[in-house]
Amino acid sequence: MANIGTFTRDGDKLVGAITTLALKSKVTFQPLNKTKPMMPDYRLYAAGAEIGAAWAKTSDNERPYLSVKLDDPSFGGAIYCRLIELENGKHQLLWSR
């Protein structure tokens, strides 16, 4: 899995940056007030534009993570990744093909 982003918690938001060959931007995970079970838990914004969504999940090992879908017109298609929390309180955005 490739680390394409690093984030830290800022109140109820997660802030950091994503770096890929097509995208290099500061990104914010903005929490949502879910009104339906299938709604995402977060919307992702870069430079004021929405670039994705994230859903809270739990792994088979009972570790929480965010399942993330990134999409941008510069991508050939959506990118799916996981945001995991490290022991030091930081978060990594991991992508695998």
**Taking 90 as the threshold, does the pLDDT of residue 74 lie above it?**
no
pLDDT of residue 20: 84
Q: Which domain holds residue 40?
A: 2-95
1 Cβ neighbours under 8 A, 6+ residues apart:
82, 94, 95, 96
**Percentage of the chain modeled with pLDDT above 90:** 80
Q: Which residues face 66 on adjacent strands? A: 56, 83
User: DSSP per residue over 74-96, as a string?
Assistant: TSSS-EEEEEEE-TTS-EEEEE-
Q: What is the pTM of this model?
A: 0.91
**Percentage of the chain modeled with pLDDT above 70:** 100
pLDDT of residue 57: 96
Q: How many domains does the chain have?
A: 1
When mean pLDDT is compared across 28-32, 35-39, 73-77, 84-88, the lowest value belongs to 73-77
**Taking 80 as the threshold, does the pLDDT of residue 22 lie above it?**
no
Question: In 3D, which of 24, 3, 26 has the Cα closest to residue 13?
Answer: 26
